[in-house]
Amino acid sequence: MYDFKPDPDLDPAERYRQLCDAAEALTSGESDGIANMANVAALLWEFVPDLNWAGFYRMGEGADGSSELVLGPFVGRPACIRIPLGQGVCGAAASEGKTQLVEDVHAFPGHIACDAASRSELVVPVLRAGEVVAVIDLDSPRPARFNEADARGLEKLAALLADRI
Ligand code: SME
């Protein structure tokens, strides 16, 4: 049994450090990327307070052969399955290869509302050899839930996972 019990009073940097340690332990030596993403989605849900969605979109292929994001393992309500590059917060992170920290999703042009409860969002690309292979997406029902500490912490997690998903 895996029993991770993050202290509710941890500061964000320490919270993400412990999350990365747990992710390292859970994914070490496991070659199945889907299993690793599933466990890390569960860890994000346990470690990061005030979320209504936590999970992955993987880089995949659309019907016309072009690249698009495809839903991966997550915790939360059912979500849109395919997101074209450049659309919504996830599509922006994937096409630019850059973290998107959105304090108010209603003010983000083209935001895709998978859960009407979402108010703020943090999306970090997972880069392997300079290519975006997936994004990690966190949604919160709290406006401005995420800050730079969350962004840097999630980027460290993304770097750790680059060769494991
Ligand atoms: N809001 C995202 C879509 C994914 S869901 O939040 C799970 C976006 O705008 O890309």
pLDDT of residue 60: 96
Cα of 1 from ligand 1 centre, angstroms: 32
pLDDT of residue 28: 95
Distance CA 124, CA 141 (A): 18
Environment class of 108 (CB within 10 Å of its CB; exposed 0-12, middle 13-18, buried 19+): middle
For the chain, list residues with pLDDT below 70: none
DSSP annotation string for 33-91: HHHHHHHHHHHHHHHSSS-SEEEEEEEEE-TTS-EEEEEEEEEES---SEEETTSHHHH
Token reading at 15: 């919270």
pLDDT of residue 9: 85
Cα of 29 from ligand 1 centre, angstroms: 30
Q: Which of 121, 130, 154 is nearest to 59 (CA)?
A: 130
pLDDT of residue 94: 98
pLDDT of residue 6: 83
Tell me the whole-structure pTM to 2 decimals: 0.96
Distance CA 43, CA 134 (A): 17
Distance CA 135, CA 48 (A): 17
pLDDT of residue 149: 96
pLDDT of residue 79: 96
Residue to substitute in 96, 108, 114, 124 for testing ligand 1 pocket (most ligand atoms within 8 angstroms of CB): 114
pLDDT of residue 8: 80
Cα of 18 from ligand 1 centre, angstroms: 26
pLDDT in tens, 9-57: 889 899 999 999 999 999 999 999 999 999 999 999 999 999 999 999 9
What are phi and psi for residue 4, nearest 5 degrees? -100, 125
